[in-house]
Amino acid sequence: MIKIDQEKCVGCGACVEDCFPNDIVLKEDKAAPLNRTCIKCGHCIAICPVDAVSISDYDMAEVKDYQTDSFDITPDNLLNYIKFRRSVRQFTDQPIEKEKIEQIIEAGRFTPTGSNSQNVSYIVVQDEMRKLTGLGLEGLNKLGKNILEEKQNKNTLFKYYAKRWMKMYEDYLADPELPTSLFFKAKGLILVVSETPINAGLAANSMELMTHAQGLGMFYSGFFVRAAYGNPKIKAFLGIDESKEVIACLVMGYPDVKYQRTVPRKKAEVSWR
């Protein structure tokens, strides 16, 4: 519920103009919430010049006033930061501090979601990495067999991965203690879960940036996401509701590799209208 301190409110109308659901009006030269169509996006909190607005469902102690020195980043630095990040698959034995994982999740938590649904959740796996490895490789092995049994499937890349997944599972069964190319020697992973892929994907991207800012390395395990999709064993192990899926799997650790420069990419395909 939106609350507006009438003693503080100066009736500027900024919150009224910025409220997309049209849930705030001016009444007797003061902003007044209707609390009918509010999606709790917090725009009214952010824009109020006198800090008169609050939302009762939230912890208002989280709100921070804008500060140039701690909020701004130059466009060139941001672009270079994005260009320089690499998928890291070589990790040291150093464990990941809990506070760093929590800050990475914070980056996901504050990422925008459609209609402010905030319908993204997170599962941190550290102690059960070995168990999850087995479940993931078992799932990939089944997918690989299905791909190879589809005679009409002419996709050579799919067939390559199918054979690779089956070999990974075979090697795992031979010695479950050895690292695999599912999670390598990572010290933890965060699963981003939602019924809305775009919301989880956006959160995962913010989390990736924070991971690298923490001095950690990570890669997205598309293999595990494929293994987990619709997989009742993995969902039961992780406690994931049937209506939700693992949208992204961030595999993390301290990097045992150092990159020296950015890499090239294909030119962007852009249409201007």
Which of 200, 20, 196 minimizes the C-alpha distance to 111?
200
Helix (H) or strand (E) holding 246, with range, is strand 245-253
* Distance of alpha carbon 102 from alpha carbon 120, whole angstroms: 15
Mean of the per-residue pLDDT values of the chain: 96
What confidence category does residue 246 fall into, taking pLDDT thresholds of 50, 70 and 90? very high
Six-digit token pair at 11? Answer: 């009736």
Alpha carbons 89 and 62: distance in angstroms, whole number: 35
Note whether 143 and 165 are within 8 A (CB).
Answer: yes
Nearest Cα residue to 190 out of 246, 143, 236: 246
Interhelix angle 129-149/156-174, nearest 10 degrees: 140
Instruction: Specify the domain boundaries for CATH 3.30.70.20 within the chain.
Output: 2-62
pLDDT of residue 15: 98
In the numeric block, which tokens belong to residue 189? 């992973």
The mean per-residue pLDDT over the stretch 126-145 comes to: 97
For residue 151, pLDDT over 90 is answered with no
Q: What's the rounded mean pLDDT across residues 139-155?
A: 88
Backbone angles phi, psi at 9, to 5 degrees: -55, 130
Rounded Cα distance, 96 and 105, in Å: 14
Bridge-based pairing state of the strands 245-253 and 188-194: antiparallel
Q: Which fold has domain 2-62?
A: Alpha-Beta Plaits (3.30.70)
Average pLDDT in the 197-222 region?
98
Position 155 scores a pLDDT of 82
* Stronger pLDDT, 157 or 100, i.e. the higher one: 100
Length of the chain: 273
Section 50-77 average pLDDT:
97
CATH code 3.40.109.10 region(s) in the chain: 73-273
pLDDT at 20: 96
Q: What is the mean pLDDT of residues 127-146?
A: 97
**Would you state the pLDDT for residue 172?**
97
Query: 73-273: which CATH topology?
Result: NADH Oxidase (3.40.109)
Q: Is the pLDDT of residue 150 over 90?
A: no
Q: What is the CA radius of gyration of the chain?
A: 23
> Is the torsion defined by CA of 171, 161, 124, 214 positive or negative?
positive
Unique residue bearing structure tokens 């203690």 = 177
pLDDT at residue 183, rounded to an integer: 98
pLDDT mean over 199-205? 98
Residue 125 · residue 144 · CB < 8 Å: no
In order of 8, 38, 40, 112, 170, the CA distances from 15 in angstroms are 14, 12, 13, 19, 60
Tell me, what's the pLDDT at 111? 98
> For residue 233, which amino acid is it?
K
Confidence of residue 153 (pLDDT cuts 50, 70, 90): confident
Name the nearest CA neighbour of 40 among 146, 115, 131, 147. 115
- Please check the confidence at residue 83 and state whether its pLDDT lies above 90: yes
Write out the two tokens for 230. 């619709």
Res 126 pLDDT > 80 = yes
Confidence of residue 156 (pLDDT cuts 50, 70, 90): confident
Q: Read off the pLDDT of residues 97-112 as tens digits, 9 standing for 90 and up.
A: 999 999 999 999 999 9
- Give the residue among 267, 187, 210 at the shortest CA–CA distance from 85: 210
